[in-house]
């Protein structure tokens, strides 16, 4: 039965109650709202989301189709001619869709029957049903071949809260280590907030911090001693520590673009404040790749430990933002206000590093009556605070 529903949730419920029971109407209304939610956060296209089966928990856990497509392409390159991969803890099937769209045959497993119903349905409406199959299973009990190529997204929620550390994941650290050591290659999605030192003793892996829309969304652990050699050098954390890289992903949901940088680089040079302030992206900071960005784009630090960099030119990169500095003042509100007034400021954006300020309240207080949209980059340099007033390019 197809019923045209009004946009207002209460009106939609009244319409549904004419044809369905209370429980059925509530279930349909809830699914309708869930299908709208991923569109709002750009996880899926409007057309695909309108037909997907979802749940609150599965939707919170899943990646966007853009990130799934990016990882799917790399998985296809890792498979090197082989077509079949395993998708463990497949959730609602987003990653399976990304891998199948890249030309792989995907066998998905999840301990939740609800997830398997959702993933099978979602693969079908995404047009990749012929390349996917799903089954309910405890992945820790599967007989996984040693030559398997594996993707796994362990559950990062426990007791209704997000978890970060390896010890809190499901399946647990012991199984995840074994998977890396005993399969040919694969990718493991972890929280971008996890301290990567937890992985220091994992051999033959590479850590990739991936961002989307200016937010560092995930840490992907890649393993494949034979097939995935993105770099031959080790990271600065130590000769035995995993190498790291940072990647920004953008563009069409089904056809993403990306830019990456390895974290392997000597410490950045120091110099005076330059004409341009360069703000590394969150993925670059998470991967500790700020020095690598400085080396690549001829940038420098103005103070030890400072994450913002300086240069003589802007940086054309999705891994950083460039601000042309037009004024430098002490990091005090009065001095900043006076400078902004002289510069004919209108809307003012506040960005801070190393100082605790209420940026939302401050932006309202510093908004001027002029026409220029300016950015105040407020930081601490030793025992002093400085504010760089600039224009985003």
pLDDT tier, 28 (very low <50, low <70, confident <90, very high otherwise)? low
The torsion angles phi and psi of 285, rounded to 5 degrees, stand at -65, -45
Complete DSSP assignment for 293-359: HHHHHT-BBSSTT---EEESS----TTEEEEEEEEEEES-HHHHHHHHHHTTEEEEEEEEESS---H
More confident residue, 196 or 126: 126
Least confident of 2-16, 287-301, 363-377: 2-16
The whole-number pLDDT of residue 57 equals: 86
The answer, yes or no, to whether residue 310 has pLDDT greater than 50, is yes
Q: Which residues, in sequence order, are CB contacts of 296 under 8 Å at separation 6+?
A: 261, 265
Least confident of 80-84, 180-184, 289-293, 386-390: 80-84
Determine if residue 297 is left, alpha or beta; phi over 0 gives left, psi from -120 to 50 gives alpha, anything else beta. Answer: alpha
Determine if residue 381 is left, alpha or beta; phi over 0 gives left, psi from -120 to 50 gives alpha, anything else beta. Answer: beta
The whole-number pLDDT of residue 36 equals: 80
Whether a cis peptide bond, with omega within 30° of 0, leads into 324 is no
- Number of other CB atoms surrounding residue 152 within 10 Å: 25
The answer, yes or no, to whether residue 165 has pLDDT greater than 90, is no
Identify the DSSP state of 170.
B
How large a percentage of the chain has pLDDT more than 70?
Answer: 86
The whole-number pLDDT of residue 392 equals: 93
More confident residue, 234 or 104: 104
The whole-number pLDDT of residue 393 equals: 86
User: Average pLDDT in the 203-214 region?
Assistant: 93
- Tell me if 29 sits within 8 A of 20, measured CB to CB: no
């Amino acid at each position: 039965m197809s019923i045209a529903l009004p946009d207002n949730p209460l009106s939609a419920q009244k319409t549904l109650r004419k044809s369905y029971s209370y429980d059925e109407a509530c279930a349909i209304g809830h699914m309708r709202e869930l299908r709208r939610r991923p569109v709002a956060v750009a996880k899926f296209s409007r057309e695909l989301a309108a037909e997907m089966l979802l749940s609150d928990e599965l939707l919170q856990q899943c990646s966007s189709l853009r990130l799934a497509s990016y990882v799917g392409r790399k998985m296809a390159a890792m498979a090197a001619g082989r077509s079949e991969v395993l998708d463990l803890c497949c959730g609602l099937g987003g990653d399976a869709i990304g891998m199948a769209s890249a030309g792989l045959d995907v066998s998905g497993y999840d301990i939740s029957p609800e997830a398997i119903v959702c993933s099978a349905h979602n693969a079908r409406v995404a047009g990749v049903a012929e390349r996917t199959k799903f089954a309910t299973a405890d992945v820790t009990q599967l007989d996984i071949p040693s030559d398997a190529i594996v993707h796994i997204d362990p559950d990062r929620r426990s007791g209704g809260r997000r978890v970060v550390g390896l010890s809190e994941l499901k399946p647990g650290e012991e199984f995840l280590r074994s998977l890396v050591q005993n399969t040919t290659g694969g990718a493991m999605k972890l929280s971008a907030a996890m301290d990567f030192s937890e992985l220091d003793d994992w051999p033959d892996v590479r850590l990739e911090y991936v961002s989307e829309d200016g937010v560092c969304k995930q840490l992907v652990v890649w393993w494949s001693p034979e097939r995935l050699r993105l770099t031959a050098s080790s990271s600065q954390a130590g000769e035995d520590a995993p190498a790291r890289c940072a990647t920004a992903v953008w563009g069409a949901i089904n056809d993403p673009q990306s830019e990456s940088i390895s974290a392997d680089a000597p410490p950045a040079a120091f110099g005076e404040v330059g004409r341009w302030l360069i703000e590394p992206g969150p993925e670059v900071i998470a991967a500790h790749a700020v020095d690598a960005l400085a080396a690549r784009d001829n940038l420098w630090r103005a103070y030890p430990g400072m994450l913002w960099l300086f240069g003589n030119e802007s940086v054309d990169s999705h891994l950083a933002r460039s601000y042309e500095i037009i004024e430098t003042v002490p990091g005090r509100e009065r001095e900043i206000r006076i400078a902004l007034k002289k510069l004919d400021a209108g809307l003012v954006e506040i960005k801070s590093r190393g100082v605790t300020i209420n940026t939302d309240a401050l932006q309202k207080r510093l908004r001027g009556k002029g026409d220029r949209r300016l950015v105040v980059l407020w930081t601490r340099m030793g025992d002093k605070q400085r504010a760089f007033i600039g224009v985003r390019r």
